[in-house]
Structure 1
Amino acid sequence: MNAPVLLERVDRVAVVTLNRPEARNALSAALLVDLFEILEREAASPEVGAIVLTGKGTAFCAGADLKESADEMEAADFWAQRRRVTQSQRIHLMLPGCPCR
């Protein structure tokens, strides 16, 4: 299985790529966890001056992975749904204040 998020550093730029082109880079639970961890680490690194967020394939990001979300709803997995929403919110709140230098 491919990593849902890729990281490449070019000089002081961290290029973070959503890597689910078959799903138009929809935000799955695994992608959200990896994305948050990578963004948090790279934003805190003194070796990174900028972060570029991009998507592999023809789309940047289709939004939430509705198939995975529907599966969770069908299974009545409230906690999985809550984890996904919380992780998404953490990313959205982090991005504007990203302390890259």
Structure 2
Amino acid sequence: MPKYHDELDAVLRALADPTRRAVVERLAKSPAVVSELAAPFSMALPSLMQHLRVLENAGLITSQKQGRVRTVSLRPGALDVLHLWLGEQRTPAERHADRLGIHLARTDRKET
């Protein structure tokens, strides 16, 4: 079991919900205020705030409050633990194929 399994578990639990995945996809484009994030969903604002709390507890997002406006951002590197874990799950054949693709691309560039 990897050393980062608690962090990975939290990220996977947070991303298991389609609403939270949609929020992360939206925040990948740019930070947004909570009311803007809530617009596409047919749920009460407190329900969305619960989703945001789960994402924040998992370390995926950060939020800042200025006056009455709360702005939410995707935390830089937040998905790195997931990327690392997925990379470890790849089969040796996939890794070899990737290296072959890189080698062929370099060879093709040298020939042109």
User: What TM-score, normalized by structure 2, do the two folds share?
Assistant: 0.26
Greater share of residues in strand: 1
User: Rg larger in 1 or in 2?
Assistant: 2
Compute the TM-score of the two structures, normalised by the length of structure 1: 0.28
Greater RCO (CA < 8 Å, at least 6 residues apart): 1
